[in-house]
Amino acid sequence: MVSHSELRNLFCSADAVCFDVDSTVIQEEGIDELAKFCGVEDAVSEMTRQAMGGAVPFKAALTQRLALIQPSREQVQRLLAEHPPHLTPGIRELVSRLQERNVQVFLISGGFRSIVEHVASKLNIPSTNVFANRLKFYFNGEYAGFDETQPTAESGGKGKVIKLLKEKFHFKKIVMVGDGATDMEACPPADAFIGFGGNVIRQQVKDNAECIQYFRYFKYSSRNNLQARNPGVEILLSTEVVTAHPPSAPPLGAVLSVRDGSPFLPSWYLSHRKCYKDFFKKGNMEG
C-alpha cells in the first residue's frame, strides 16, 4: 500500500503524468455523447457504467456499444462541431503548469482518438502524447469497426501504454490520474494512482483502490511564496473532497499542490474503505 508521504514524494518527482480523458479531463463520457447524438443514449450509457465499473470486460463493452451506435465519420465530425466536450474546470491550467515544470503529460483513453485529439489540442498536448482507440470507416464514411490492435481497446491496455512509455522514454516515475477501473488497474506499472471523482464516482474504484484521492474539480492558483527565495506558483489539484466525512469532521476541502518542487497532498485519502484526516502543516486548506 502506498502511504501518504510516499504518494507525496512520488508526485513531486514524477517524470510524467498520465490522465484519463472521459469523466476526468472532460466532464462527459465521449461514447455516451456520441450515442446521444446518434439516438441510442439509454442502452449505451448503461453499458458504459458497467464497463467503467469493471463489471464487463472493456473490449466486449466497447464492441457492443459501437454495434449499437454505428457512428459515421460525418456524425463524429458533427458531434465535435456542434457539441464539443467540456473540459473539467481547472484542467487547462493544471496541464499548463505541469508542462512548465517539464513534466510530460499524456492522455490515455479508452475513448476515440478523433475526440481525444480534439481535447489534446485545447490543452496544447501533442498528438504523439495521445493514446486512444481508432474508429474505422468505409470509403463512403460509414462505420466499419474499430482498431482492435490498440492497447486501449481492452482491459489492462492503459497499463501496457505506461509500460511502453517507461521503456521508450526511460521515465522513472509515472502518476496515473483517472476515474475508472481501467485507470486503477494501470498502477502498477504506474508508480501512483490518483482517483478523480469530480464528475462521477466509480464504486469499484472507491472500494478497492489501496490509496485513492477524490476531488470535485481541478484548480490552479498562482501565489507569491513569501518564504521562498524565488517567488513560486502552486498547482492545486482541486479543493472539495467527495468522500463522506466522519461525523465530527467539518466539511473541509483538500488541495494537491506543487510549489517550487515541494508537494502538498490532499488531507483526505481512502485506504481499504477507511477515511483518514491529516491537516496540512504547510500549504492551504480551502472549503
Residue 35 within a domain: no
The rounded distance, in Å, linking the Cα atoms of 75 and 166 is 36
Full residue range of the structural domain in which residue 124 is found: 4-27+87-137+149-277
Type of residue numbered 30: G
Distances (CA, A) of 14 to 18, 79, 83, 104, 219: 10, 35, 35, 9, 19
* CATH of residue 242: 3.40.50.1000
Amino acid found at 262: S
| 84: amino acid identity, one letter | P
So what's the pLDDT on residue 184?
Answer: 74
CA separation for the pair 201, 87 (Å, rounded): 17
Is residue 8 a contact partner of residue 265, using CB atoms and an 8 Å limit?
Answer: yes
Q: How many domains does the chain have?
A: 1
Asked if the structure places residue 41 within a domain, the reply is no
**Residue at 93 is within a domain:** yes
Q: What is the pLDDT of residues 64-106, one digit of tens each?
A: 888 888 888 888 898 899 888 888 877 888 888 888 888 889 9
CA gap 71, 37 in Å, rounded = 9
Do 195 and 254 touch, CB atoms closer than 8 A? no
Active centre residues (catalytic): 20, 22
Whether 80 maps to a domain, the answer reads no
Whether 241 contacts 254, CB under 8 Å: yes
**Whole-structure pTM value:** 0.69
| Other beta carbons less than 10 A from residue 197's beta carbon | 22
pLDDT for residue 107 is more than 90? yes
**Residue 286 falls within a domain, yes or no?**
no
CA atoms within 13 A on the CB side of 12: 13
Q: Which element (helix H / strand E) includes 143? A: strand 143-146
Is 153 domain-assigned?
Answer: yes
Does 234 reside within a domain? yes
Residue 61 counted as domain residue: no
| 17-48 pLDDT per residue, tens | 899 898 888 888 888 888 888 888 777 777 76
